[in-house]
Amino acid sequence: MKNFTEPEGRRNTLALLLAGGVGSRLNILVQTRAKPAVPFGGLYRVIDFSLSNVMNSRLGQVGVLTQYKPLSLMRHVGTGEAWDFTGRTRGVKILPPSTGFKDSDWYKGTADAVRQNINFIKSHPSEDILILSGDHIYQMDLDDMITFHRDKQADLTIAMMVVEMSEIHQFGTGITDQEGRIVEWEEKPAKPRTNLASMGIYVFKTRYLLDMLADNREEVDFGHHLIPRAIIRDRVFAYPFTGYWRDVGTVQAYWEANMDILREDSGISPEKWGIRPNPYADGQPADRCPARFVAGCRTRGSLISAGCRIEGVVENSVLAPGVVVGPGAVVRDSIVLDDCVIQEGAVVDLAILDKRAVIGAGATVGHGEGKEVPNRAHPTHLYTGITLVGKEAEVPAGARIGRNCIVKPWTKAAAFPETSLADGETL
């Protein structure tokens, strides 16, 4: 029977968003914030994509499980008003780890995090539970996935997509039968036998999930523990997804996904996808005026947010609100976050500047041809030429910063030993 309290068209499904990810390969971009809170595409944060997908799928009850540096995430989610999660039957709750009589520990894994919030699940009675991560850039009709799940009378449905064989070792992989049922599972296989990868989006029957979690408290991870067991015993289906999907977990992937927005044929379009930012969160983008293009400036192939002031040259770049590009300054192939100032004649080439960084007059960030010299401290993070400048860092006038460099957050201009930082160095 239809639940009378369930508004027309809304599913009796509770959403749990796993937003605890550290995303350490994003280096200084996650020094002060969790991966889902990393700014993206000028006006957004990564988590906006998941939250908006949940909203657009007409789900109204959401728990956001946080653990790592949750402050900017909490500020950003706020009351959830930006995603229409306020009202009588809608709500968003931040669920941090907490101490208690029994569960007095940090979240030990995805399944453990959900297990530690069983009270939240029980206090929001639901037929199914949607579990997803807040780490990815994509658009997906989760409502359709829930319909699929119910049509198949599945205990668990996992969203899966085809990925390159060279990348499959990073994912949970499944082999399906003709019906779409998953018959075999390998978590991050060294020698993959399939190219079908899990996107970390699960729909569980609520009753089923609660039973699974109660069975064995040692099972702390969905991919490693619960899913393999479920596949052997119960009805587990793969919901096929095709379309743009990116894990922006590395500096290179983050840079590429931002640049994808600039290209019409890339398949990503936050506005068309119905992705909602939260302009009332920190930094008050709500107060921003239109972007100002001063006479003599040149802007091409870029994404420019409100509140920017462009006097110099901007090419192939993504500018968040309030960025100032001074006269004669050049910003090329870069991502510049909120309220950075690039002073007169400075050059920013292939770099990511975190919020409120100041590049002094005539300085160069991303200098020279040494793109192949990886960062010495973090060779696996920076090796394609991208230089990172941390939050509120100051690059002194006339300084030269090479490729694959890191200028740590809050570095003062006085901290620069000399006027140049060689390729691959960290300050």
Is residue 306 part of the contact set for other proteins (CB under 8 A)?
yes
Is residue 43 part of the contact set for other proteins (CB under 8 A)?
yes
- Tell me the Ramachandran region of residue 41: left when phi exceeds 0, alpha when psi lies from -120 to 50, beta otherwise: left
- Tell me the Ramachandran region of residue 313: left when phi exceeds 0, alpha when psi lies from -120 to 50, beta otherwise: beta
**What CA–CA distance (Å, rounded) separates 187 from 155?**
20
Shortest Cβ distance from residue 312 to other proteins (Å)? 13
Residue among 100 and 301 whose Cβ is closer to other proteins: 301
Q: Which stretch binds other proteins (CB under 8 A): 67-75, 177-185, 314-322, 334-342?
A: 314-322
Q: Which stretch binds other proteins (CB under 8 A): 55-63, 218-226, 292-300, 367-375?
A: 292-300
Shortest Cβ distance from residue 58 to other proteins (Å)? 17
Shortest Cβ distance from residue 353 to other proteins (Å)? 16
Quick one: which of 74, 94, 253, 297 contacts other proteins (CB under 8 A)? 297
Of 368, 294, 297, 300, give the one whose Cα is nearest residue 333. 300
Torsion of CA 203, 205, 209, 212, to 10 degrees: -120
Residue among 136 and 276 whose Cβ is closer to other proteins: 276
Shortest Cβ distance from residue 42 to other proteins (Å)? 4
Shortest Cβ distance from residue 178 to other proteins (Å)? 41
Residue among 120 and 293 whose Cβ is closer to other proteins: 293
Shortest Cβ distance from residue 375 to other proteins (Å)? 29
Is residue 307 part of the contact set for other proteins (CB under 8 A)?
yes
Quick one: which of 14, 34, 129, 304 contacts other proteins (CB under 8 A)? 304
The enclosing H or E element of 65 equals strand 61-65
Shortest Cβ distance from residue 299 to other proteins (Å)? 5
- Measured from the Cβ of residue 101, the count of other Cβ atoms closer than 10 Å reads 5
Q: What are phi and psi of 407, to 5 degrees?
A: -105, 115
CA atoms within 13 Å, Cβ hemisphere of 88:
3
Q: How far is CA 383 from CA 168, 325, 336, in A?
A: 21, 27, 19
Contact 56, 274 (CB under 8 A): yes
Is residue 276 part of the contact set for other proteins (CB under 8 A)?
yes
Residue among 312 and 396 whose Cβ is closer to other proteins: 312
Shortest Cβ distance from residue 321 to other proteins (Å)? 8
Shortest Cβ distance from residue 126 to other proteins (Å)? 28
316-335 residues near other proteins, rule: CB under 8 A = 318-319
Place of tokens 């369930």: 6
Quick one: which of 96, 293, 332, 422 contacts other proteins (CB under 8 A)? 293
Structure tokens at 356: 């409120």
Contact 20, 117 (CB under 8 A): no
Q: Which stretch binds other proteins (CB under 8 A): 37-45, 172-180, 333-341, 398-406?
A: 37-45
For CA atoms 73, 318, 245, 253, the dihedral sign is negative
Give the total of residues touching other proteins (CB under 8 A).
Answer: 39
Q: Three-state SS for 229? A: helix
- Tell me the Ramachandran region of residue 267: left when phi exceeds 0, alpha when psi lies from -120 to 50, beta otherwise: left
66-95 residues near other proteins, rule: CB under 8 A = 82
Shortest Cβ distance from residue 277 to other proteins (Å)? 7
- Tell me the Ramachandran region of residue 213: left when phi exceeds 0, alpha when psi lies from -120 to 50, beta otherwise: alpha
Quick one: which of 21, 39, 63, 270 contacts other proteins (CB under 8 A)? 270
Q: Which stretch binds other proteins (CB under 8 A): 4-12, 304-312, 358-366, 410-418?
A: 304-312
- Tell me the Ramachandran region of residue 400: left when phi exceeds 0, alpha when psi lies from -120 to 50, beta otherwise: beta
Residues that bind other proteins (CB under 8 A): 41-43, 82, 261-262, 269-271, 274-277, 279, 286-287, 289-307, 309, 314, 318-319
